[in-house]
Chain A
């Protein structure tokens, strides 16, 4: 968790863009992809996104290491859609209840590509955006309340800490004789107990952190920002890029005659 959120050492172009601009671009692409279920628009967006990898400092290797569960989930989702969706066109494989037809295969493929095409921009965003910079942009540019934004940011730091704490509590409880062995019911009970222990520690840590923040003057009205969140020409290109990918996906699909709104 801590490693995944650390973008130190990533000097790619998109790390310099304003997080809010990147956010808007991601939103535009996701919006378009959520409208249709065809495979052409998804493929177009996906290809464009893959082309953006170097700009965000992401490589296929890194992507696989960080997001392999997501990729596998998309593949499984696509495969099961292909099996269970209503058949249309020539039937390719038929095993009793389950059958794959041209129509359902196309739907499954579209489903898988779409899943990836929607997930990728978010991964790109995370790869090239520092959470602190995102918080700065949300508070200074999007004018979200700073108490909320900075509170969440500080809490997020605790999440990584809690992951370590979970492991320690697990060991500490095993040393008391609370095992993770036994029947599923016993395991569930042990996990619940461990969760309670973690909850207690999380509350303790959170209240101490809150005291630390309050003692540093947090929570007052006026506040200045050490880091100014600014827009540059790059951000215009980022938003424009999002718009182009989104519009490009729609136009290609309409041109190919595959565009179909989800509600139809």
Chain B
């Protein structure tokens, strides 16, 4: 066992892969293969590559959490940390994953940070001094960072705070290697910087080796001293340059200038690059009003029973008014927790407003009644389509084609649109695949296509560009601009300014939540 004195500095880890490959149990093709890579102690590496290049697989392997002896997964070559297999070295590497909710283990902040150190059998007094230090290092104890007490409930943290908490939990293990697997993909811009800065501070202090996987290069470019681009499509064969598995390797500026075009083609968010998108052609003057919200207060919670009393939920946002017009975009922005998604879902007829009213114009309702929340499910989908942030929430069948046919079959019309949508969103080669097995970008495209198959006049999207690579981003933005020109109204909740710029239209900015007080909304041209 390692020595666990608090005075012992972190010993940065070295990584060496020689012809390393991994095939997951039940798959015929290896996720990654023929990887040759050396990372020196203390190096900070940004790992790039298109989805399916095996980046996550590599991080999981380094964290020692890949596969079991029992299953029929397959390893080839060697992957070593300090010359030893990662599996045998608990605590040598710390891993942070994408979904903040699953990075938290216990329900109190202090306990959660202590968890890793406990598992490494660190003595009790030592654990608590590490916990204090780690929480200070990630900035969760400063007034600006939330000033959290040790017994603060972890459920009450924001996404960025949860990720920083996870980092503190990793630091408390004193690992020589920190592995970040798209740590900021689910965060808003403020959260992204929070986490990035915390990582930067901790690396400066400990000198640990870093391997980070992330699409958005600009966030990490100044922090890393090397970029490694993995071969697309995993199979190392057919590589023109360099070793199998690795396409490019070098200092950030060099890699970015040498391979800018190639990286852009692979969908990587190279700094200063906004992918080309289709411009809006039609700028409607006074377009048809389809849907309006008037002085709406919103909450996800339903009225709750407390004994004999029924208590209405406390709204997360009040007094919101907005108009949705045919062929026009409405972008809902604002800080985390301002009720953006909740308002969008209310507008989309999926939540009942706590106060105020959402009303559909006759042109939209077509006899279905004024209140979208009261519409039947099939009435709703042919009028307002909603694309959720997590595509998997909306999958209702086991095949891509069935998924697309689902809406039209229920409605009894529109099946002829399906082929066009498949073609347009590049899903044709996947018709027989199971939706759950698709890549992130494919899932996003599918979820948009399935909702559009019902031909709604209003399309509502919740953070459609979160965690998407530049190619999917550009496709989505172009496609929506086409829809807008064709007369569909597009409402999107987004932090992504470039995205709203492509769509144009109006911006509805929801203010920070002031409990019990009404907040005024500014609406202006985006």
Contact = CB atoms under 8 A, between A and B. Distances in A.
A177 B124 contact: no
A59 interface: no
Interface string A74-109: 000000000000000000000000000000000000
Nearest to B403: A176
Given A220-B119, A224-B123, A224-B124, A208 B393 contact: no
A216 interface: yes
B119 A153 contact: no
Given A197-B393, A226-B111, A226-B118, A175 B348 contact: yes
A171 interface: yes
B111 A132 contact: yes
B101 A2 contact: no
B151 interface: yes
Most B-side CB within 10 Å, residue of A160, A218, A224: A224
B169 interface: yes
Given A216-B115, A216-B170, A171 B345 contact: yes
A176 B131 contact: no
Contacts of A216: 91, 94, 105, 115-116, 119, 169-170, 173
Nearest to A5: B107
B125 to A, nearest CB: 10
A181 B376 contact: yes
Interface in B155-171: 155, 166, 169-170
Interface in B19-67: 60, 63-65
A242 B348 CA distance: 55
A168 B393 contact: yes
A226 B451 contact: no
Contacts of A213: 105, 115
Contacts of A222: 121
A212 B179 CA distance: 12
Given A132-B108, A172-B388, A197-B395, A179 B119 contact: no
B124 A211 contact: no
B492 interface: no
Interface in A12-60: none
B300 interface: yes
Contacts of A176: 381, 394, 396, 406-407, 450-451
Nearest to A219: B119
Interface string B107-134: 1101100111111111110011001000
A223 B121 contact: yes
A68 B117 CA distance: 42
Contacts of B451: 175-176
A200 B350 contact: no
A141 interface: no
B17 interface: no
Contacts of A161: 101
A74 to B, nearest CB: 15
Interface SS, A side: helix
Contacts of B166: 212
B388 A226 contact: no
Contacts of B377: 174, 177-181
A262 to B, nearest CB: 32
Contacts of A228: 124
A219 to B, nearest CB: 8
B131 A226 contact: yes
A105 to B, nearest CB: 26
B306 A131 contact: no
B102 A205 contact: yes
Given A176-B407, A224-B121, A226-B128, A215 B64 contact: yes
B285 interface: no
A176 B451 CA distance: 7
A264 interface: no
A168 B301 CA distance: 11
Nearest to A136: B111
A200 B307 CA distance: 34
A55 B43 CA distance: 56
A240 interface: no
Contact of B393 (A8, A64, A169, A227): A169
Interface string A150-185: 000110010011001001110111111111110000
11 contacts: A6-B107, A64-B307, A157-B106, A173-B396, A176-B381, A193-B396, A197-B395, A216-B119, A224-B123, A226-B114, A226-B131
Given A175-B386, A177-B454, 12 more contacts: A6-B153, A65-B306, A65-B307, A132-B107, A154-B105, A175-B387, A208-B99, A212-B105, A215-B63, A215-B65, A216-B169, A220-B120
